Amino acid sequence: MYINGIGKTGYPMAGFGAGRTQQNTTEKSFAKQLNHAANIPKTYQIYMPEEDMLYSGGNGTGLSFYLKYAENSTEDDPTVIAKGVDENGDEFEKTIHINKINPKCATVVEMRALEAHLGVSKLGGFTSLPLETGAMGLNDRMDFMDMFQKQISDMRLLSQKRAEAYYRYSMQAYWDFMHRK
């Protein structure tokens, strides 16, 4: 039996523990990120949902925001205003034109606006988006369609048929949006 890198002999396994001289670059990067995060004063702003809000929430990075339709929003050009606090504690305001969102290269704020505008049903009331969005910052862009594929694959691997079907449904809503444009 192997526990915490110690084999049956009681000695550390190769690559673990004593005598290890090289540090993995991933570990350095992770340590650097932790040190950086520790020095950032986090401001967690919570926006209470109001009747005219499309979305109110955030993620694990400290990003917190709400979405409302802009006053000049039209059926031909649905426009959403996002206001909140980014992962560094800085306030932001963004105008998002729904028809210009590309789910293959979008921010989490853009995708939340699209999710709300399309009325995509949310899993457990939280999100229709893949779990990876919990680590995204305000300006991080990702290919959400690839993220959906990975999430679906993970759910299939874990034999989570309902979750797999749900993420397929969600992904289809965004594919339909992309092909409607």
Segment-wise mean pLDDT, segments of 10 residues, the chain, 181 residues: 42 40 48 55 58 86 94 97 94 97 97 95 78 92 96 94 92 94 68
pLDDT > 70 fraction of the chain, expressed in percent and rounded: 70
12 three-state secondary structure: strand
Q: Does residue 156 sit within a domain?
A: yes
Angstrom distance (rounded) from CA 29 to CA 85: 25
64-69 and 91-97 as β-strands: parallel, antiparallel, unpaired? unpaired
Q: Does residue 159 sit within a domain?
A: yes
Quick one: pLDDT at residue 51?
74
Q: Does residue 158 sit within a domain?
A: yes
Q: Does residue 111 sit within a domain?
A: yes
Counted domains in the chain: 1
Quick one: pLDDT at residue 104?
97
Amino acid at 176: D
Q: How far is CA 160 from CA 3, 23, 47, 130, 133, in A?
A: 29, 36, 33, 14, 20
Domain coverage including residue 147: 53-180
Angstrom distance (rounded) from CA 17 to CA 26: 17
Quick one: pLDDT at residue 25?
43
Q: Which residues pair with 12 in a beta bridge?
A: 6
Q: At 44, list the tokens.
A: 């967690």
With a CB cutoff of 8 Å and minimum separation 6, the contacts of 145 are 103, 104, 171, 174, 175
Quick one: pLDDT at residue 176?
96
Q: Does residue 80 sit within a domain?
A: yes
Q: Does residue 46 sit within a domain?
A: no
pTM: 0.72
Angstrom distance (rounded) from CA 84 to CA 19: 48
Q: Does residue 10 sit within a domain?
A: no
Quick one: pLDDT at residue 121?
85
Quick one: pLDDT at residue 94?
97
Q: Does residue 75 sit within a domain?
A: yes
